[in-house]
Structures are given as C-alpha cells and as structure tokens.
Amino acid sequence: MKRVVITGAGTINSIGQNVSQTINSFKEGRCGISDLKFKDVERLSIKIGGQIHDFEPDKHFNRQQLSLYDRYTQLTLIAANEAIEESGLIFNGQLAATTGVVLGTAGGGVSTWDDNYRAVYEEGKNRVHPFVVPKLMNNAAASHLSMKYNLKGPTFTVSTACASSNHAMAQAFQIVRSAQSPVMVTGGSESMLCFGGVKAWEGLRVMSKDACRPFSLNRNGMVQGEGAAIFVFEELEHAKRRGANIICEVKGFAMSSDAADIVNPSKQGAARAISNALQDAQVNVEDVGYINAHGTGTAANDKTECSAVADVFGHHADKIMISSTKSMHGHIIGGTGAVELVACILALRDGIIAPTIGYEEQDPECALDVVPNEAREAKVEFAISNAFAFGGLNAVLVLQKV
C-alpha cells in the first residue's frame, strides 16, 4: 500500500477565510459564534450560529456562476482554490485523468431549497429558476470543483450527516493508498444557516441558545456553523519527486455503525471506530497525543465520547489532550470534520493544541484533559480526528507529523 500525505489545505469558516486566519483564531481561542443574520431570523428560537458574516460572494464569482452555485458550493470552491494553490499542482494529462474529488456534505444546497420553497409556497410563484436542481444537489460542489480544475478521476459526494467529511476523506485516502490515483482532492462543505435550515434543527431540541460549551458541566446543546475545508491528498513518493511541501501524513482510518439508535450515540460504536483506526494506522495508543473530538456540546454526545476514549486508551486517556473546536466555529455538520482537520494540522505541524473554549466547570463524566479555554504548546506525533454522526455512523482518521 502507498503512503498518503497532505500537500495542500484550504478553508473558509466563521473564524477565518483561509487556513492562516483559522489557525490564528485557534491559537487565540477566538469565538466565531454570533447573532444570525438572515430573513425571518426573529421567528426562530435559536438566533446564534457560526455564520460567515463578512463573506461577499459577488467578489469571488460572476453573475452566471452565482446562478449555478449554492452557498455551500461557493465555500467549497474558495477553500479548494487555496488548497490547490498551496499544493502547486497543475492538472493536465495523466494527472488530470486520474485525480478526482470526494467531498462530504449533509444538506447540500439547503439555502437554495429554502429560497425556492419560499418562492413557490409563500409568494405563490409557479416557476423557479431552470438550474434549481443542479444548484441544490448534494454532488454540485464536487462536480463544479472537478470541472474548474479539469479533474477527471473518481468524483462523488458522501452524505453521512455529521461524519460526511471524515467519511469522504477516508475514501479519498483509500483511493490514493490503493494506488488508484496519486492525487485526490477531498474535504467537506456545509451551509445550512437559513430559516428552514435552522428551524429544522430546532425541532430536535439539542440546540443551545447562548453558546457551545463542549465537555463543560453546564453545556446545553450544540450550535450550528457553516464553512468548508478542502485538502490535497497525495501519494508520498509522488509528492517527494516534485519537491512538494508536505503538511502531514494520513496514516489510517476506520468506520463503524452503531446499529442502535437514529440520534442517541453509542459508546461501543465510537470505541470500535477509534480502535480500528489505530489498528489500520499501526499506531499504539500510547503514541497518540491529541484528539480532535466530535464534541458537539450536547449532554449525551460529550460524555459518550469521553467514555469511548477512556475505554480505548485506558490509563493513557488521562495523558491525551482532547479538544472540541466546535466551541469556536460551531457544528458545520457535513463540513465539520474537514474544518477540524485544520486543528489537527496545527497540532502536528506547529505544536499548538487548539482549546475548548467556553469551558466553565468540569463534568465528572468528561474528566479528561479537554484543553480548557487556552491553546497549549505541545509536541504531538500522532493525532486523531473523530466524527460520530446521527444515524450512528462513525468515521475516525489518524494523522502523523512529518
């Protein structure tokens, strides 16, 4: 099997419109959660989120493109531009023929759905734009990314709720590792912050009205966010031959299904995914220094995840740093694992652990080192990224410093 490295990274989210800004926000523990701004927000009981307020689409895309690109596609293309530019790759010939795109999203074009439902049901219009379907479909972002960069290899979208990005990146990793392609572009994107998108989540009664406080005893729910992160996964020797800057290595992954409940998490399912990912990566539990937690800020998720970590790592669990950056950028649903991979890069490459902000009081059921409120310097050789989705679908990635 081939070794796989990351040679390009890009992101846009509520705490940064590129990787550098996002990393600085992680270092500072800056919160990107604020008052939501969109039509009819006053009708919602949840009025906060990790919204990208200073994003101006018309500065990035022309009128024709805006008629084709839902917001989640726009965010994808901005992040992809940064990642591919950093990689230094130019896609033509055989490289273009074999390079593909695997992206994660849970909702796809939710804003487009919302706008057009309003037009038909509220305003009584009998026609919608002819490109509504290609604009809202879940594979739109992957398709537009492949078309923009002439990527003709395996291209598809993974939609597994909150684990979509990690599942997508795992598939891209496997494609490169198995020598099907020397390069894949991968990550995830989500933009559900519109009236219908938030109203649907309100119904679950798992949302906080004031803040996301993962692992804190007084946590009271998750907070939605929006954003995208895209990475270039490349076969190690291919990257070395062209003198590429290598960010870190992707060592292994695993996936599992709880097969138990549509919303309640399972300690056993999460533990299986973590343990199998370490086995796939051939990494000992004692070698892991950092875990980017799923850490949604709900009562059930956080204690279940901590319990799973304790089961897998045993006595070493007390020595591992585990933080949830959702406390800063919110839960980006299908894009969250991708944005959180930037925090893993920060830990491995720069030796800085992003904090769990908003932490106020220890929960005895989450009694691990959750890196409360302030970033920390630490040498980390191996990091793990957890994603545990509604539906009981779990995906875990293992990364190594280079």
Catalytic one of 294, 306, 329, 344: 294
Report the pLDDT value the prediction gives residue 85, as an integer from 0 to 100.
Answer: 99
Sequence-ordered list of residues with C-beta below 8 angstroms from that of 101, at least 6 positions apart, any chain: 142, 145, 146, 151, 155, 156, 184, 185, 186
pTM: 0.98
Sequence-ordered list of residues with C-beta below 8 angstroms from that of 251, at least 6 positions apart, any chain: 280, 281, 282, 283, 382, 398, 399, 400
Segment 61-88 mean pLDDT: 98
Of the pLDDT bands very low, low, confident and very high (cuts 50, 70, 90), residue 366 is very high
CATH number at residue 58: 3.40.47.10
**342 lies in the same domain as 221:** no
The per-residue pLDDT for range 188-212, each reduced to its tens digit, is: 999 999 999 999 999 999 999 999 9
Kindly state whether residue 378 falls inside one of the protein's structural domains: yes
Alpha-carbon distances, residue 78 vs 13, 47, 219 (angstroms):
11, 26, 33
Report the pLDDT value the prediction gives residue 62, as an integer from 0 to 100.
Answer: 98
Report the pLDDT value the prediction gives residue 19, as an integer from 0 to 100.
Answer: 99
Catalytic one of 162, 194, 212, 366: 162
Of the pLDDT bands very low, low, confident and very high (cuts 50, 70, 90), residue 247 is very high
Active-site residue 294, yes or no? yes
Report the pLDDT value the prediction gives residue 250, as an integer from 0 to 100.
Answer: 99
Report the pLDDT value the prediction gives residue 302, as an integer from 0 to 100.
Answer: 99
Sequence-ordered list of residues with C-beta below 8 angstroms from that of 248, at least 6 positions apart, any chain: 5, 6, 344, 345, 348, 349, 399, 400, 401, 402
Of the pLDDT bands very low, low, confident and very high (cuts 50, 70, 90), residue 109 is very high
Using CA atoms, how far apart are residues 341 and 266, in angstroms rounded to an integer? Answer: 23
**74 lies in the same domain as 179:** yes
Using CA atoms, how far apart are residues 131 and 314, in angstroms rounded to an integer? Answer: 53
Of the pLDDT bands very low, low, confident and very high (cuts 50, 70, 90), residue 1 is very high
Using CA atoms, how far apart are residues 308 and 274, in angstroms rounded to an integer? Answer: 8
By the 10 Å C-beta count (0-12 exposed, 13-18 middle, 19+ buried), 4 is classed as buried
Report the pLDDT value the prediction gives residue 231, as an integer from 0 to 100.
Answer: 99
Segment 312-338 mean pLDDT: 99
The per-residue pLDDT for range 258-304, each reduced to its tens digit, is: 999 999 999 999 999 999 999 999 999 999 999 999 999 999 999 99
Report the pLDDT value the prediction gives residue 33, as an integer from 0 to 100.
Answer: 99
Q: Which residues pair with 228 in a beta bridge?
A: 12, 189
| CB contact at 8 A, 214 and 343 | no
Kindly state whether residue 247 falls inside one of the protein's structural domains: no
Active-site residue 53, yes or no? no
Kindly state whether residue 246 falls inside one of the protein's structural domains: no
- Range of the structural domain that residue 224 is part of: 4-241
The per-residue pLDDT for range 14-61, each reduced to its tens digit, is: 999 999 999 999 999 999 999 999 999 999 999 999 999 999 999 999
DSSP assignment of 7-23 equals EEEEEEETTBSSHHHHH
**Among candidate residues 189, 208, 241, the one where a domain is terminated:** 241
Mean of the per-residue pLDDT values of the chain: 99
Share of the chain above pLDDT 70, in %: 100
**Among candidate residues 199, 218, 241, the one where a domain is terminated:** 241
**188 lies in the same domain as 265:** no
Catalytic one of 194, 306, 331, 344: 331
**64 lies in the same domain as 170:** yes
Sequence-ordered list of residues with C-beta below 8 angstroms from that of 388, at least 6 positions apart, any chain: 162, 163, 265, 269, 270, 273, 294, 301, 304, 305, 394
H helices of 150-245, in order, are 164-177, 195-202, 236-241
Kindly state whether residue 204 falls inside one of the protein's structural domains: yes
Segment 55-78 mean pLDDT: 98
- Indicate the number of domains in the chain: 2
Report the pLDDT value the prediction gives residue 38, as an integer from 0 to 100.
Answer: 97
Using CA atoms, how far apart are residues 112 and 96, in angstroms rounded to an integer? Answer: 31
Strands (E), 14-120: 34-35, 48-49, 100-104
